[in-house]
Amino acid sequence: MAKFKLDEIDHQILDMLIDNTRVPFTDIAKKLVISAGTVHVRVKKMEEAGIIKGSSLTLDYKKLGYSFIAYVGVFLQKTSQTKFVLERINEIPFVTVAHVTTGKFNIFCKIRAKNTEHAKDVIFKLDDIEGVYRTETMISLEESINDKKRLMHSIFNEL
């Protein structure tokens, strides 16, 4: 996985697109005092290089009625079952991310649900997977996000 060289202009373009992907290229061009064609070519190159993997909408899941977030640590009977269990976990709706981890848990996942009742259903599905010994749930009382823009800036400052 080779690093890819981005220059200051690429940084600026990403900076303008990272939290609003529909900013017109003409606006970016104006701000950076380059032509819109150049913006287009550079974005295309970053897409081809795979630096830009895609774009997505940020939805307000709370407004959709899904305000419950929890992290669930999964203990396995044998670590050799990791792959199998991970595949089963990925089939469970409302599990949003899963990681194989070192440390306390074998697998660690995040779930998003309507409420505790609904979360219980999801966690029971996790517990029911063959090879899962037990789970440990941490309910999120408050989420505080250090946004993508900040992460990107930190990365650019170090490069």
**Does residue 152 bind DNA (CB under 7 A)?**
no
- Region binding DNA by CB under 7 A among candidate stretches 30-38, 105-113, 114-122, 132-140: 30-38
Mark the segment that binds DNA (CB under 7 A) among 40-48, 103-111, 134-142, 147-155: 40-48
CA distance 25 to 156: 21
Q: Are 113 and 122 in contact (CB under 8 A)?
A: yes
Residue of 13, 25, 68, 109 interacting with DNA (CB under 7 A):
25
- Asked if 74 and 121 count as a contact pair (C-beta separation under 8 A), the reply is no
Using CB atoms within 10 A of its CB, is residue 85 exposed (0-12), middle (13-18) or buried (19+)?
A: buried
- Site map for its own copies, 30-69, x if CB under 8 A? -------------------xxxxxxxxxxxxxxxxxxx-x
| Cα(128)–Cα(132) distance, integer angstroms | 7
What does 116 bind: DNA, its own copies, none (CB cut-off 5 to 8 Å by kind)? none
Closest separation in Å from C-beta 136 to its own copies:
7
Q: Does 117 interact with its own copies (rule: CB under 8 A)?
A: no
| Cβ closest to DNA, residue 12 vs residue 140 | 12
Q: Which of 87, 92, 88, 84 lies closest to 119, judged by CA? A: 92
Segment interacting with DNA, rule: CB under 7 A, options 26-34, 63-71, 77-85, 147-155: 26-34
Per the CB < 8 A criterion, the answer to whether 69 and 111 are in contact is yes
Report the chain's C-alpha Rg in angstroms: 21
Nearer to DNA, 44 or 134 (CB): 44
